[in-house]
Structure 1
């Protein structure tokens, strides 16, 4: 009787294995569609990739045709990376036009508070709230052709024209300025001067920094590409592991 049932048992096991493979493939596909990466099923979990692209979406949902990064997706990812012992470091890839100030600053604080080494690289643009996102990591890079626009915060839509509104704007700006100064090498006076420049941007105020310029002013640590960013991250991981021994 055992000989009769053995082929059936083996067949059931094969079916279960195939179902597991299909389930893993489905999860991987859904993760790529949702987050643009497959960190969850990667064989090597030691270095996780965090993509921050398009516009930072906060409490207001952006139109469907707008490329966006949702903060309610990024924050759980960061928590998972922090809790996972297999994760040794995080590489943050930035190409953002900015977006919701509160959401961007929340993500920046989360990255900055990670116990694991993190390296950011601006590959296309790191504008507006993308500036603190770039400086929030342990070490930052910018590619030679990438740009960063430093400008004061602004608000669209209905605004009540009273003194309290301007005070609120000033407090919000102070929060951003203090974070950038705290997480980079730039002087606060220089940062304010760049934000208030009125001869670089059309119908706006601020400063455009291209590649090396962001490094020279102390905003970004180094000019380089993805190879340099990964090498630096591996170096920081080794350094941390050496200190923990």
Structure 2
């Protein structure tokens, strides 16, 4: 028999219920939006008529398969991925705004979040505030449109391993393959070339305890990493524009009542040199 004192709670964009706990069994004293912000750092799904845009915050350190110390401010990828899936499935949400202020973190968790954002069918816009460092760079470029605040920074450096490292060639081959995954993703989702990105990654003399480069606002745009310098107003304007374009494309797509012009008939080929 299940224990009646144990309550299971699955965070979801579709839920507006507060998970009961030992101190507040009914959950009646904590409003659902406040509870979500306290637990996940995100607000609830907007009610109809409020907003058609979902805002996702990725802040602090991106936590992967290992739980980080409690004093670290983290974003857990097992929280972010279900939110992205729910936003994709929720018909009331027409676009996603990703607010990014992260120092980096787990490489595979960061790439998983970036791949999820890049594979969404709904319009997405990323805004880098404060910083989008390390594995935050692939997340920043994963959206259809990326913006960066004028004073925000992005640190580009090679990936690192923590803990026990076996000094054999296979370890370094694994690191090289993992790094190539990051390079390929960034260069395929932005305007920066592979040569330039690796040049920024392996620069020496700029960072005191590492190799790499720190780029600021306009430099990130000049290198082709980010599309535009701007703030939340510009990000929302671009996102609303992408939403309108998607609606227009859906209306004019075949099968939605739109008419298509017949193909132009080419005259028959009558010989001769081509």
* TM-score > 0.5 by shorter chain: yes
Distance in 1 separating the partners of 2:29 and 2:55: 19
Greater length-normalized contact order (CA 8 Å, ≥ 6 residues apart): 1
Distance in 1 separating the partners of 2:182 and 2:38: 32
1:199, distance to aligned residue in structure 2 (A): 1.4
Distance in 2 separating the partners of 1:148 and 1:230: 22
3-state SS of paired residue (1:39): coil
Distance in 2 separating the partners of 1:160 and 1:82: 41
Q: Deviations 1:194-217 (Å, cap 9, x if unpaired)?
A: 100001100210011000000000
Aligned to 2:31: 26
Residues 158 and 179, structure 2, Cα contact 8 Å, conserved in 1: yes
Distance in 2 separating the partners of 1:227 and 1:30: 27
The structure 2 residue matched to 1:152, chosen from 131, 155, 158, is: 158
Structure 2 stretches lacking a partner, 5+ long: 1-26, 252-274
Distance in 2 separating the partners of 1:41 and 1:153: 38
Give the 3 Å change call, closer, same or farther, for CA 42–23 of structure 1 in structure 2: farther
The TM-score normalised by the length of structure 1 is 0.89
Distance in 2 separating the partners of 1:223 and 1:125: 13
The structure 1 residue matched to 2:45, chosen from 40, 44, 48, is: 40
Aligned to 2:72: 66
3-state SS of paired residue (1:76): helix
Structure 2 residue 81 is matched with structure 1 residue 75: yes
Give the 3 Å change call, closer, same or farther, for CA 24–140 of structure 1 in structure 2: farther
Instruction: Within 5 Å, give how 1:82-161 maps onto structure 2.
Output: 82-161=88-167
3-state SS of paired residue (1:40): coil
Distance in 1 separating the partners of 2:40 and 2:191: 31
Structure 2 residue 244 is matched with structure 1 residue 238: yes
The TM-score normalised by the length of structure 2 is 0.79
3-state SS of paired residue (1:96): strand
Q: Deviations 1:3-44 (Å, cap 9, x if unpaired)?
A: xxxxxxxxxxxxxxxxxxx85963222211112222325453
Give the 3 Å change call, closer, same or farther, for CA 163–229 of structure 1 in structure 2: same
Q: Which moved more, 1:195-204 or 1:29-38?
A: 29-38
Give the 3 Å change call, closer, same or farther, for CA 203–32 of structure 1 in structure 2: closer
1:100, distance to aligned residue in structure 2 (A): 0.3
Distance in 1 separating the partners of 2:42 and 2:100: 14
Distance in 1 separating the partners of 2:93 and 2:139: 20
C-alpha RMSD of the superposition: 1.3
Structure 1 stretches lacking a partner, 5+ long: 1-21
After TM superposition, what 4+ stretches of structure 1 lie above 4 angstroms from structure 2? 22-25
- Alignment size in residue pairs: 224
Distance in 1 separating the partners of 2:145 and 2:79: 23
Distance in 1 separating the partners of 2:171 and 2:246: 45
3-state SS of paired residue (1:220): coil
Distance in 2 separating the partners of 1:213 and 1:42: 39
Q: Deviations 1:128-155 (Å, cap 9, x if unpaired)?
A: 0000000000100000000000011001
